[in-house]
Amino acid sequence: MNIYFGVPSGDTGNIEEKEISKRLIGSLTTLPCHTREFTTDDPYPFDAIKGTPSLIHAFHAAKAGMPCHKLAEKARLPLVVTCTGLDAYIDMYNSVLRPQLQEVLEFARKVIVPYPQMGKFIKSRLMINTEIEVIAPGIAPFNSEFDFPREHFGFSKGERLIILEGGLLPAKNVIFAIHYLEKLIPDYPELRLIIFKTPFDTDYQKQVVAEIPGRPWIRLIDRPEDGLLPFLYRQAEVFINVSHAEGYNPFLLSAMQTGRPVLAADVYGNHAFIKNEETFQGLGNGWLYFTSPGPGSFARIHDGEDFTNKLRFLLDNPGQASEVGQRAARIVAQSYTAEKELYLHLQVYKALLR
């Protein structure tokens, strides 16, 4: 089996796609299987190694889909496309990208999504007959018996850390988090909002940076290496997600794996993985705050009062927050393993290459 993985080009964006591809390649190379990752700006990927690929697997239907579609069509190879979410929930509303999505996903032999709702959304919007395969993401385990000192990350004792992950782009709604956390600072002066500098959208990054002067409780830091992220997450009191739209956010599951209580916007991609403790008391694995459809496209209207009330509850009830966080860690360890993810991908590849 010789699998070519097509990932979007560029260094700062597309973390989810590259993370899935890297994880699969790392696992497949331990098997009798040849792999190669190429970016979508590589014009002649087939010339890089001897032999012809058996199959092409594109990550992100909009950014990687069309180049991989052309390669697969030219070489008469099966094409598998993984949708990570924003290609469905945001690019679907783009008048230029929508026809490309339709073409790519109709050509694909299999479309892989991380949870059933995304598959239903894609089929209902594009009316395609391509077979959808649901493969839940796998999360690499970490050494929970070891901790980096808080000072290693530049934080001091007594600071109560709120981590917001996901990158600086409009869909992640970072400025909403800044404005509503500010309402809590008078009552919780030790709070610190941790944001990573990942500049998915340089214009939006400038808007976020412009919000920082006069707000010393905001910490805009360099994103640590992937291996260190779980240990940074463990320093947080609460992990938040305030996105307008989410597909598959690996950072959300990674934070849950560390036992951090999560408060997230009730949008696709968050409620696929989070069972709201407020609704299912004693059975939940996190908290969701209310959002409603926005005036157009993927935008959402966030209930800022519900967000701050729930965050205040988590800060005032650390015992209950920790209990739910530990429940989330057990669920992630049981249901989102890298081994299961690899096995299900292999079943897809084998079925197409019979």
Tokens matching residue 43: 């014009």
Instruction: Quote the CA–CA distance of 273 and 270 in Å, as a whole number.
Output: 6
Domain identity same for 94 and 180: no
Instruction: To the nearest 10°, report the CA torsion of 184, 185, 186, 188.
Output: 90
Domain identity same for 65 and 75: yes
Predicted pLDDT at 12: 46
Instruction: Decide if 206 contacts 168 (C-beta within 8 A).
Output: no
Predicted pLDDT at 48: 45
Q: What confidence tier does 160 reach under pLDDT thresholds 50, 70, 90?
A: very high
How many separate domains does the chain show? 2
Instruction: Please check the confidence at residue 161 and state whether its pLDDT lies above 90.
Output: yes
Domain identity same for 172 and 290: yes
Q: What confidence tier does 218 reach under pLDDT thresholds 50, 70, 90?
A: very high
Predicted pLDDT at 297: 67
263 lies in some domain = yes
Q: Which range marks the domain in which residue 16 is found?
A: 2-138+337-353
187 lies in some domain = yes
Domain identity same for 128 and 240: no
Instruction: Decide if 33 contacts 54 (C-beta within 8 A).
Output: no
- CA 149 from chain centre, in angstroms, equals 27
- Residue-wise pLDDT tens digits, 71-90: 888 888 999 999 887 788 88
Helices (H), the chain: 15-28, 65-75, 86-89, 97-107, 116-126, 174-182, 202-210, 229-233, 250-257, 304-316, 318-335, 338-353
Q: What confidence tier does 149 reach under pLDDT thresholds 50, 70, 90?
A: confident
Instruction: Quote the CA–CA distance of 83 and 127 in Å, as a whole number.
Output: 16
Domain identity same for 55 and 115: yes
143 lies in some domain = no
Q: What confidence tier does 276 reach under pLDDT thresholds 50, 70, 90?
A: very high
Instruction: Quote the CA–CA distance of 79 and 234 in Å, as a whole number.
Output: 39
Task: Report the DSSP pairing between strands 218-221 and 191-196.
Answer: parallel
Instruction: Please check the confidence at residue 32 and state whether its pLDDT lies above 70.
Output: no
Q: What confidence tier does 9 reach under pLDDT thresholds 50, 70, 90?
A: low
Domain identity same for 198 and 273: yes
Domain identity same for 194 and 81: no
Domain identity same for 113 and 177: no
Residue 37 or residue 245, greater confidence: 245
At position 45, the amino acid (one-letter code) is: P
Q: What confidence tier does 320 reach under pLDDT thresholds 50, 70, 90?
A: very high
145 lies in some domain = no
Strand ranges inside 167-274, DSSP E: 191-196, 218-221, 238-241, 262-265
92 lies in some domain = yes
CA R_g for the chain: 21
Domain identity same for 128 and 201: no
Task: Report the DSSP pairing between strands 218-221 and 131-134.
Answer: unpaired
Domain identity same for 196 and 117: no
- Residue-wise pLDDT tens digits, 181-190: 999 999 999 9
Q: What confidence tier does 14 reach under pLDDT thresholds 50, 70, 90?
A: low
Mean pLDDT (whole number) for 129-157: 87
196 lies in some domain = yes
282 lies in some domain = yes
- For position 290, which CATH number holds? 3.40.50.2000
271 lies in some domain = yes
Query: Which span out of 54-63, 161-170, 268-277 was modeled with the highest average pLDDT?
Result: 268-277
Predicted pLDDT at 37: 58
Instruction: Please check the confidence at residue 280 and state whether its pLDDT lies above 60.
Output: yes
Domain identity same for 327 and 346: no
Domain identity same for 160 and 290: yes
Instruction: Quote the CA–CA distance of 148 and 309 in Å, as a whole number.
Output: 31
